[in-house]
Structure 1
Amino acid sequence: MSNVILVTGGGRGIGRATCLRAAGAGYDVVVNWTRDRAAADTTVERCEALGARAIAVRADVSDESAVRAMFDEAQGFGKLRVLVNNAGIVAPQMRFDEMSVDRWRQLIDVNIVGAFLCAREAIRRMSTRLGGDGGVIVNVSSAAAYLGSPGEYVDYAASKAAIDTLTIGLGKELAEDGIRVNAVRPGVITTEIHASGGEPERAQRVAPSVPMRRPGEPDEVAAAVMWLASDEASYITGTTLDCSGGR
């Protein structure tokens, strides 16, 4: 039975780059998507061109029943070995006192509850304590977790800080279950997430504040994700790797 990687939010940006790296490394790929089927299908096609089997599975990660169904479908595709908790959202840039409760709830449901749900379902299938063969969870956090994103995305930054703590706790809790849990904290990366925050060119604007004086590329983050998923990182768990150009 083949080894399967499930990447949430796998249709675009860091998610797509991770899917392609995984396909090149010999994984069969489950590409999760929620709204953009065409982007997910493109990712599938590019994975297949690299010799991998790949499927696109629609699931809102904040919906418990949808997440369970997605993991059942992934398990039918092969042996789940890696979960990449990549799906996440931002809302339009604004000061904290201008934000609504509805905004916070939607962001928390996707960025925090979604990661919790996906991690739980992966654990139930991977844990040696529960009869699984072990595996790896890689969470995609953000440099915002330690920068705070004042005046823009304080709520998003707080949600990613929760992912950092989840990584530490699960890394310790699952160490004897054959599951390693780590995270990557991307900095300013050239993805479409900036447009959803209302500033498509944000990466270029912020670049001068990065010690390396440029934004990162999705594939650079994907390389870090897949290294943590690999056997080369076999003695690393509960750790977060900054991929932020020194910011």
Structure 2
Amino acid sequence: MTHSSEAPLILITGGSRGIGAATARLAAAQGYDVVVTFVSDAKAAASVVADVEAAGRRGVAERIDSSDSIQVEALFGRIDKVFGRIDVLVNNAAILAKQSRFEDLEVDRIHRIFAVNSIGPMLCAQQAAKRMSQRHGGKGGSIINVSSAAARLGSPNEYVDYASSKGALETFTTGLAKEVAREGIRVNCVRPGHIYTDMHASGGEPGRVDRVKDSIPMGRGGQPEEVARAILWLASAEASFVTGTFLDATGGK
């Protein structure tokens, strides 16, 4: 199969399942070459890559912990060698721990949640911006941070630490968007609401979306593909005058 090196490249962190995997598959269908990162499930990541290749695009899966700056730098070095470009970064990797009242949270858990959900996206965006910025001879690009309606709602009695880490990601979105707006880089944020993904099992309640769906004005949970479409719209030239903005995909909640 022949590949044009001119295909745009999208990097999706946490791309082996859920919203990340749906975004990878849709991106390939839209003509992107795709790099996904994963932490543990190599088989799931390989299946996403196989789908990308079946769509006629190049796909690569990289096992990295995005909260580790050395691993992040090495990842971007490999992308430079293999693809020679990066056009879109989707900061999707995130973790959730068991539902709990805030006063019972262990400090190690809070540190880890912030390391992955807040610092990881900052490290990836730093590397991407250096390559995209017209100030450094880049061609511009788009960064999309995947937050959560939790940042607005606070997730009391469940995940105050997770919600707070997403709040930090949103403030980062605003600041970086303004900083690089004249360098050809757009920085935006999608806020998914209650979406049917495997992530809820990490919080101890796989069926959470069905439990809370009556609290959603549309009366149902969302599908990962519905969030993927929002992400890829923000990445696209159709959103050329959109930066520093927050797109809620929450069914009205």
Q: Given the two structures, how large is their TM-score scaled by the length of structure 1?
A: 0.99
Query: SS at the partner of 2:157?
Result: coil
Does the 8 Å CA contact 1:141/1:184 hold for their aligned counterparts? yes
Query: SS at the partner of 2:61?
Result: strand
Cα distance in 1 for residues equivalent to 2:89 and 2:151? 21
Aligned length: 247
Indicate the residue corresponding to 2:11 in structure 1. 6
Pick the aligned partner of 2:202 from 196, 202, 223.
Answer: 196
Cα distance in 1 for residues equivalent to 2:32 and 2:118? 26
Indicate the residue corresponding to 1:28 in structure 2. 33
Does the alignment pair 1:76 with 2:81? yes
Aligned CA RMSD, in angstroms, stands at: 0.7
Cα distance in 2 for residues equivalent to 1:145 and 1:119? 20
Pick the aligned partner of 2:244 from 221, 226, 238.
Answer: 238
Indicate the residue corresponding to 1:15 in structure 2. 20
Task: Work out the percentage of aligned pairs sharing the same amino acid.
Answer: 55
1:72 Cα deviation (Å)?
Answer: 1.4
Cα distance in 2 for residues equivalent to 1:71 and 1:112? 19
Cα distance in 2 for residues equivalent to 1:211 and 1:137? 29
Provide structure 2 residue ranges, at least 5 long, that are not aligned to the other structure.
Answer: none
1:76 Cα deviation (Å)?
Answer: 2.3
Cα distance in 1 for residues equivalent to 2:136 and 2:212? 46
Cα distance in 1 for residues equivalent to 2:212 and 2:172? 28
Instruction: Summarize the alignment of residues 17-96 of structure 1 with structure 2, pairs less than 5 Å apart.
Output: 17-78=22-83, 79-96=85-102
Does the 8 Å CA contact 1:149/1:157 hold for their aligned counterparts? yes
Cα distance in 1 for residues equivalent to 2:24 and 2:153? 28
Pick the aligned partner of 1:208 from 207, 214, 232.
Answer: 214
Indicate the residue corresponding to 1:223 in structure 2. 229
Cα distance in 2 for residues equivalent to 1:39 and 1:23? 17
Counterpart residue type for residue 183 of structure 1: C
Indicate the residue corresponding to 2:192 in structure 1. 186
1:77 Cα deviation (Å)?
Answer: 2.8
1:51 Cα deviation (Å)?
Answer: 1.1
1:73 Cα deviation (Å)?
Answer: 1.4
Indicate the residue corresponding to 1:127 in structure 2. 133
Q: Given the two structures, how large is their TM-score scaled by the length of structure 2?
A: 0.96
Q: Which runs of 4+ in 1 moved over 3 A?
A: none
> What are the Cα deviations for residues 150-206 of structure 1, in whole angstroms up to 9, with x where unaligned?
000011001111111111111111101110000100000000110000000001101
Cα distance in 2 for residues equivalent to 1:57 and 1:74? 10
Counterpart residue type for residue 50 of structure 1: A
Does the alignment pair 1:139 with 2:145? yes
Indicate the residue corresponding to 1:99 in structure 2. 105
Does the 8 Å CA contact 1:139/1:183 hold for their aligned counterparts? yes
Provide structure 1 residue ranges, at least 5 long, that are not aligned to the other structure.
Answer: none
